[in-house]
Every structure is written in C-alpha cells, then in structure tokens.
Structure 1
Amino acid sequence: MKKYIVFLLILVVISCSKDDFSDHSMESKVVVEGWIEEGDYAQVLLSSSIPITDAIDSTNVLNHVIRSAKITISDGKISEVLKVKNDKNRVPPFVYFGSTLKGEAGKEYTLKIEYLNRVIEAVTKIPKSVELKSAEYIKKVATDTTGYVFVKFDDPVNEKNYYQIATKIDGEEPIFVPSFYGNLDDKNFTKAEVSVQINRGVILFPKTKFTPYFADGDLIHVKLRTQNKDALDFWNSWQNEIVNSKNPIFPANASLKSNIKGGIGIWAGYGQSTLLVKTPPKK
C-alpha cells in the first residue's frame, strides 16, 4: 500500500505580519489532533509546529513528530495512559492509542499531555449518534467513470446538532477524511429529512492533484459524525484555510480555531454511524 501524509494538522506558525517570518526564535507549539468516538477508543497524533521558513516534505514532517509524550485520558472515573504504535501506512507513522476507555455518548473526556516542561489539556463530550439512513454513489451521466456520494439521515427534532461527514476509500486511505464542505449545522436545515452530496476531502500532499469526486472501483466507507460546536468551528476554519491557500498546512491569514489549552489543534468527541458504498467495477 502507498503511504500518505495523513496527519491533517501539520501546522505552520505564521502571522499576518511578515516581520514575524524572520523571527527564528519563535517557540514551536504542540499540535494536537485527537478524537474519541462512541464505541471506539481514543487516538491522538502529536507534532510540533513547523516554522514558515522550513521545507515541507516527509523527512521534515517526521522530524516534528512527537513520540515521547505522556498522554492521559479520563472520563472522571477511569484514567488511561495511551500507548504509541507504529502504523506503516501513515506518514507520520506514530499514533497514540487507547485500549481501555471506550467512548460513550453523553460522557465527558479530558485529555492531558505531558511533554518536556509543558502540560497541554483539553475537554470534550461525545454527542449522541445519529443514524445514517443511506449512502449512494451517483453519476451525473451514466457513462461517466466518476461520481459523488449522496447521504440521507434524519436530524432529530428539538435537538441541537452539529455534523461532520467523512469518507475512507478501502485500500487507499488509512483514515476517515472529513469531506469537503461536510461540516453541517442543523440551523441550516429546512426539514428533518436531510439529503447531502458528499465531496471527497483533502488528504494527499503535496504531489497528488486534488479531485473532489469518487471513481468506479472505489469501495467507500461513509461516516456520519455528530460533533460539538468547538469541533465544528475548528474543522470549518481548517477547511477555510485550504480554500484560501490551496494548501492544508499553510494557514492563509488567520489562526485555526482550537480547544487545546497550552497547544493548538483539536480534541473532539464524536458520535458515529457508518455505511459502506460499493461502486461499479473499474473498466
């Protein structure tokens, strides 16, 4: 299997002021991408932010991965120190993972990262999952070899919900990738029955041209996540940076939203519902 740079939050310390670019003494920040889903264990990716003056390639990315932190998660009653594993299908290949605390809807989970002389903390809560009713691969023209995925679900009445739709192509992508424009606030829904077109999200950097569609031969895992407002704000700001700069690792002119105290990034709890979509065989 090919290896992909799948650490979505490889961030660069950057300011609106160009004078800051020459400040080589700027302290790097700890970058966190962590999550715990209902029915699954926590995963956390850690790195230090990359100065704007540094080259961005797989070697430099590996140099900024943090592998020696102590990460503790707790639900208020049980605490667990995450272990580190080497996942050769990812670049960077190091993932902190849990095996004791399984996510439960309605529960609050704290994250504590101890690294060198720093303590980084965050809190999240797992919202109740919403069932994904259907997911279908549809082409605009029958003879096309590419298409989009359309999903349907019912937004619970009298409940405030925020959603993220993510996809994973079997055999090609090792993680679920947030869909482009797949962060949804139910205040924008006109009715409880929701139907949404899914555009493929950005994962590959830097040599593969981004295409927002899926193709014949793809086996597509589609996930509907419920998320909290801080996660929605984070992923919307992350997406805006991609739109503005055409590059997911270079913030264009604003900082990403974050719920991390002492660092940057996201610690999110998700509800989740997943369906598998089969496409026609590749010709």
Structure 2
Amino acid sequence: MKKHILFLFAVIIWGCSKDDFAEKSIESKIVVEGWIEEGDYAQVLLSSSIPVTDVIDSTNVLNHVIRSAKITISDGQNSEVLKVKNDKNRVPPFVYFGTNLKGEAGKEYSLKIEYLNRVVQAVTRIPKSVQLKSAEYIKKVETDTTGYVFVKFDDPLNEKNYYQIATKIDGEEPIFVLSFYGNLDDKNFETTSISLQINRGVLLFPKTKFTPYFADGDLIHVKLRTQNKDALDFWNSWQNEIVNSKNPIYPSNTSLKSNINGGIGIWAGYGQSTLIVKTPAKK
C-alpha cells in the first residue's frame, strides 16, 4: 500500500463498545476529526464509524468516508461553509477545508455538521501559542545513521497550559503526526525551562516498519501546539488504548473521550509554533 492511513485518522473504527456486540442493529455514528490552528484555516476529516465485526481494510475505510456533508465554522461574528477536496496524499483522500476564517488565539470557534437528517456540533477555543526555542537532531553515537529530536521551550509562569508535540517528515508525511507520548500537562513540569526528547508518532499501514526515531536525510518539521483540556483528554485516551491493546485499529475496552455533540471524535483549537530540523545527508 503506497499511501499512509495516518495514525490520527484511525478513530473512524471505534464507533461501538464491546457491550454493543450483542446488538443486532448498530447505527453508525458520525466521526469527526477537526482542528483550527492559530494563523491557519479549519480542516475536518469526516466519516461514519465501522462496526468492529466488519473487515478492516483500505476499501472498507474508503466506503465510510463522508464527502457530502455541509460543515459550517463560526467565530460568533463571521462564518464560512467548508469546501471539500480530494487530497491524493492522504488516505482517506477527502478533506473539508476553510479559506476565509483564519484562527486567532483567544477566540471560540463553533463547528456545525449537517449530514442527511443529522446535526453534529462542537465548540473549541484557540489557546495562546507558546514558542519553541530550539529543536535539534541528536544521535546517541556519532556514527549512527539515526537519532532523536530534542526540543526546548519555556512554560509561561502563572498560566495553565496543555501541550501537544507533532512532527512531519518532508516528502513522507502529508500532515503532522502526534509524537508518541506527545501530550503534555504542565502540572508535571518541575521547571519552567522544558527540554524533551521527541519520539516519532505511529502510522497505520506505513510504507516501512515503524521506528520511534528519525534518520539521516530527514527534513523534520517540529510543531509545539497548545491545546485545551478536552483535546488533551481525547488524545491521551487514544494513546492509552494504543499502548494497552497494542492495536491501533480498535480500542480494547472503553470509548475514547469526545467533545462532539451528536457524534464522536474531536474538534480542537490549537496554538502553534513550528521549527524545521535538518539532519545530515544520508550516506
């Protein structure tokens, strides 16, 4: 399979819990993965949930993509209806996107999805961005051809912040992928000067075997996001399911956290700061 199904899109197949298996008829749920960053436009991936009893493959995933919904984004004063495009760099290759309403820190953004006879809604706020001070590629042994990324930033005093760190390898990954254990709550910081090792995030159906490190020849985009508590809870519950079940396709026990009314998933506002890390040329 030449294309990736990104780790964060796998949410489309957790539409029912184990208690639902006895049900003869299970209504599929609308699954949302949407976000709006400071300085950028909204993007939304939309699907219907896949019962765990179904065969999970790329064809079935594509059959559950929703590409004909009406999605409206509003900041309380201005609104826009998102367009949908075919993006061949992604699987599933359909993305709803904005072009007019750009994210601003401190503002609330509502999401309204109208599809068939259903209405799905959510609200998020974009927190203030925190700037990355540095991002560096470091090897444990100089002769290695692989290494890790280390980032530094300052956690503001007297402010409550939740963070997310994501990376994107130029030419390999079409969007930023959540780093493994990349969700951070500043209550766990012992100092305001933060220095962290970043591990690569998990992809579904990757081109190559997953490794948690980066390699010589990679051009790495590193993003520090600020996020809200509901987004932190969603991504933490997601990652806990991956770790506990060792199955990135279907969570083992409980439903994931969600802030979507009438559906499941996440609608998140993010502050963001991005740096580019150049690695040595591949030998």
TM interval, short-chain normalised:
over 0.9
Give ranges in structure 2 of 5+ residues lacking alignment: none
DSSP 3-state at the match of 2:85:
strand
Structure 1 stretches of 4+ moved >6 Å: none
* Correspondence for 2:15: 13
Q: Number of aligned pairs?
A: 281
DSSP 3-state at the match of 1:50:
coil
* Counterpart check, 1:236 vs 2:261: no
DSSP 3-state at the match of 2:71:
strand
* Correspondence for 1:179: 179
Paired with 1:82 and 1:25, the residues of 2 have a C-alpha distance of 32
CA RMSD across the alignment: 1.4
* Correspondence for 1:264: 264
* Correspondence for 2:82: 82
* Correspondence for 1:200: 200
* Correspondence for 1:48: 48
Q: 1:146 is matched by which residue type in structure 2? A: T
DSSP 3-state at the match of 1:210:
coil
TM-score (norm 2): 0.96
* Correspondence for 1:97: 97
5 Å-filtered alignment, 1:126-165, equals 126-165=126-165
Paired with 1:87 and 1:15, the residues of 2 have a C-alpha distance of 31
Paired with 1:53 and 1:207, the residues of 2 have a C-alpha distance of 26
Paired with 1:222 and 1:4, the residues of 2 have a C-alpha distance of 19
* Correspondence for 1:188: 188
DSSP 3-state at the match of 1:99:
strand
* Correspondence for 1:278: 278
DSSP 3-state at the match of 2:250:
coil
DSSP 3-state at the match of 1:51:
coil
Contact 2:4/2:206, CA 8 A, preserved across alignment: no
Identity of aligned residues (%): 85
TM-score (norm 1): 0.96
What is the CA-CA distance between 1:142 and the residue it aligns to? 1.1
What is the CA-CA distance between 1:4 and the residue it aligns to? 1.1
What is the CA-CA distance between 1:2 and the residue it aligns to? 4.1
Contact 2:37/2:272, CA 8 A, preserved across alignment: yes
Contact 2:80/2:101, CA 8 A, preserved across alignment: yes
